[in-house]
Amino acid sequence: MAETCDSNNKVIREYHSDDSFMSRCDIFTDVTEYQLCLASARESGQGKFEPKWDTKIVTPHLIEQFKLNCAASNLPVKVFVSIGGKDPFKVVAGGADDWVLNATTTLHHMINEYHIDGIDVKYARILCNKDMFVNCIKDLIRGLREALCTTGFVASLAPNAATNEAFYLPLYRSIDNSWIGTVVFQCFVDFEPKDPNRSVEILVRQVEKIVEEYDYYDSKILLGYSAIKEDWNKVSPPLFFLALNRLVHSWPRVKGASVKVISDNIAFIPPTWIPKLLSLAVSDVGKYP
């Protein structure tokens, strides 16, 4: 049964690799929280993460200034470093302990240097077994929580249809659910509706299953999309919008949307449209077919 829309269902997350996010504190004036994910920190199997965003532009000083600007605009903000991205998750044979140690050390340094609030686990390709992935990421999150216990460290997960059941859900079920503040379901990845005429219903049901599985009462569920046109072959913008409209009214923990932007220079959705579309999506239930 549809419920009255929670006024807090206006959370926006964006993935950026340049300084396009600096305009957001002026654009996103009607959202309850803005989440910035720096895309991304990457490694090659040994856990030694390095920032792969444009470090000449996106500097620690810029992140500090962005947070100050958001505070001046009364825009609640959290900054994440996204790990994974285009790189697969893999660990060299016998190297799990070293991977966790290296990952914890390098990400701890990065988080402190860039004034980051937490990590976003966003591996789309995982080249190991379930236990290896679960244990490495669980120990990484635990290690960072212990090292950053005074700074309010947060973590998020970004599964897609191909990785959720095999990897991300077992990870979620193996840890204290309160460690995970946000779950972003990347709905545009590997979406294959059996009946194209029922795409909205099928996508909605797929996300409803995610909400039921990631059931910690205080976690935020975001519907993940992309501003990159090449990512629209499976889920069109209208399909995404209609699904989001239904979900935010049926499930109070569906708090909003996540958008892969990377840079405003290559995005096909103008930045000013994103908060407007979110506001429309959380408008009266049943307004859209």
> Of the candidates 39, 34, 26, 28, which has an alpha carbon nearest to the alpha carbon of residue 114?
39
Residue 286 in this model has a pLDDT that exceeds 60 = no
Does position 3 have pLDDT exceeding 90, yes or no?
no
Residue 222 token pair: 């975001």
CA distances for 123 relative to 21, 88, 255, angstroms: 23, 6, 22
What are 38-84's pLDDT values in tens digits? 999 999 889 999 999 999 999 999 999 999 999 999 999 999 999 99
Structure token digits, residue 127: 């080249």
Instruction: Using the predicted structure, report yes or no on whether residue 5 has a pLDDT greater than 50.
Output: no
Average pLDDT, the chain: 89
Range 11-281 has CATH code 3.20.20.80: yes
Give the Cα separation of 260 and 37 in Å (integer). Answer: 9
pLDDT of residue 166: 96
Angle, helices 237-250 vs 273-281, to 10°: value is 50
Determine the average pLDDT of the residues in 248-263: 92
| pLDDT of 139 higher than 60 | yes
- Using DSSP's 3-state secondary structure scheme, residue 57 falls into coil
Listed range (253-257, 262-266, 280-284) with the worst mean pLDDT: 280-284
Question: pTM for this structure?
Answer: 0.92
- For the chain, what are the domain ranges? 11-281
DSSP structure class, residue 155: E
pLDDT at residue 9 greater than cutoff 90: no
Nearest to 247 by CA among 268, 278, 216: 278
Question: Which DSSP string do the residues of 80-139 spell out, in sequence order?
Answer: EEEEEETSPB---TT-HHHHHHHHHHHHHHHHHHTT--EEEEEES-B-S-HHHHHHHHHH
3-state secondary structure of 24: helix
- Does the structure show a pLDDT above 50 at 1? no
Quick one: which of 63, 1, 11 has its CA closest to 32?
A: 11
Check: CB of residue 258 under 8 Å from CB of residue 11: no
**pLDDT per residue over 195-252, tens digit each?**
777 889 999 999 999 999 998 878 899 999 999 988 887 788 889 999 999 998 889 8
70/77 Cα distance (integer angstroms): 7
| Count of other CB atoms within 10 angstroms of residue 45 | 16
* Nearest residue to 229 (alpha-carbon basis) of 193, 196, 269: 269
